[in-house]
Structure 1
Amino acid sequence: MRVPTTETENASPRLSDRRLRLAERLAVMLPGVAAVQVGLADPRRQWPHPRAVAIDTDGQWVPLTRATSQVVARWVVRTWPEAEWAEPHTLDLATGQLTAGAGVPARGR
């Protein structure tokens, strides 16, 4: 667990903006995608291996190329280095919120 320092407390507004910008850019890069599920445990590869799965508003997977999946996963992991990446996380592209687990965003966005 990271201990908050003055530097991280002062940087939080910038960090929050950075996280929201990433979500906005991913929404443009991945049209029709509502959320991205990210983890380091790709079932087809040895751990750790970055992997992202795109999910639309209906909860259906949207196919990504292997390269796109890895790039998206790396961007999210680098933007949230403090997250516990032993389990998958879901990034809601509408709000920029990262939540632990394999949740699917609500419909109608």
Structure 2
Amino acid sequence: MLATPSGIPACPETGRQHRLAAQLTDMIPGAVTIRVSLTDPSQAWPHPHASAKGEGEGGETVALSRTTARVTARWVLRVWPEADWTRPHTFDLADATLIRSDLAVGRGR
């Protein structure tokens, strides 16, 4: 990553996360959280996969095309390469945070 003359990275890491949240909010209207994993239910081999939940008590599933699901998952994977991707993670679009889905309180798996 390029640095400014002061030595500060030109693109702070939190900036990437917030930009990704803004892009996904525009790309997937109505989505509040994105669940990302390497297990696509329609594939036998591991593939990046994402599903989106909307607002509401139960969090209605937001329909994603296969391409959108895969692109979304890849974008999230690239922003957090250090995460343990053997487990699914949930990306909260409101505050641009990523937590392991099995640790998320009040959210479905």
TM class by smaller structure: 0.7 to 0.9
Q: Secondary structure at 1:54's aligned position in 2?
A: strand
Contact 1:57/1:105 (<8 A) preserved? no
Letter in 2 for 1:85: W
Using the size of structure 1 for normalisation, the TM-score is 0.79
Pick the structure with greater CA Rg: 2
Aligned length: 97
Q: Give distance in 1, aligned partners of 2:106 and 2:76.
A: 17
> 1:64: how far off?
0.3
* Shift, 1:47, TM fit: 3.3
Instruction: Give the TM-score, by structure 2 length.
Output: 0.79
Which residue identity is paired with 1:46?
A
RMSD: 2.2
Q: Flag the structure with more relative contact order, 1 or 2, with Cα contacts below 8 A and sequence separation at least 6.
A: 1
Long gaps (5+) in structure 2 = 1-7
Moved over 6 A (4+): none
Q: Percent identity?
A: 44
